[in-house]
Amino acid sequence: MTRKLAISQKQAEALLRAAQKHRGIIEVETLMGTVRLIPECHVGNRVLAETPSDPPSNEDDVFIDLGPSDPPPFPGKATFVRSYLYERGHRSNHDGSHLAPLRAEAAKEWRRQLLAQELGKREKAALEYLSARKDDKHSLSELKGIGPDTIDRLLAREFVEATFHPKHPERVALVWITKSGMRELTKDKRSQKAAL
């Protein structure tokens, strides 16, 4: 049996962010009734609403609309590969050489799905920053709010180039914008002006 909880707006927002990040739906038994927090990634998803595991809707259900939120960024390569392996029954984190073909397949699938996505706001912000200083090479620490996953996505799109750390070859040491990155940025700016 579950205990009914009082839930504040701040707590509901935190739960909704977690649901959005993990692409799930959260239900909380409250004093007002059942609160179902449905992130934007599931709004309008008819398949999810028809799954038999969902209990039938109750008239006492309370839905809290927290307004539009930004969609979560496309996952970084390492996160995608890890979940790809996990979905196929490989629960261990060790780097077994027998998993190398599966990791390569996962990386190829990650890139294919990434290229089908539009450029996210973090990628745009990174390109903006790098384009303002296009002749310089920058360390990741200089790019505020832009992490390794964002750089992975830009590298896969070939909008930036990078050098890697000599002792840790999976870590980016320096990054700079490419000509195709500059073209994408100017194309994006033109489309924003046209929309106005």
Residues 6+ apart with CB under 8 A from 111: 156
Confidence (pLDDT) at 146: 81
Q: What is the dihedral of CA 162, 157, 81, 145, to 10 degrees?
A: 60
* Per-residue model confidence as pLDDT tens for the chain (196 residues): 456 667 777 777 888 888 888 777 787 777 667 777 777 776 654 333 333 444 444 444 444 444 555 566 677 888 888 888 888 887 665 667 778 888 889 999 999 999 998 888 888 888 888 888 767 788 878 877 788 888 899 999 999 999 888 888 888 888 999 999 999 888 887 887 777 6
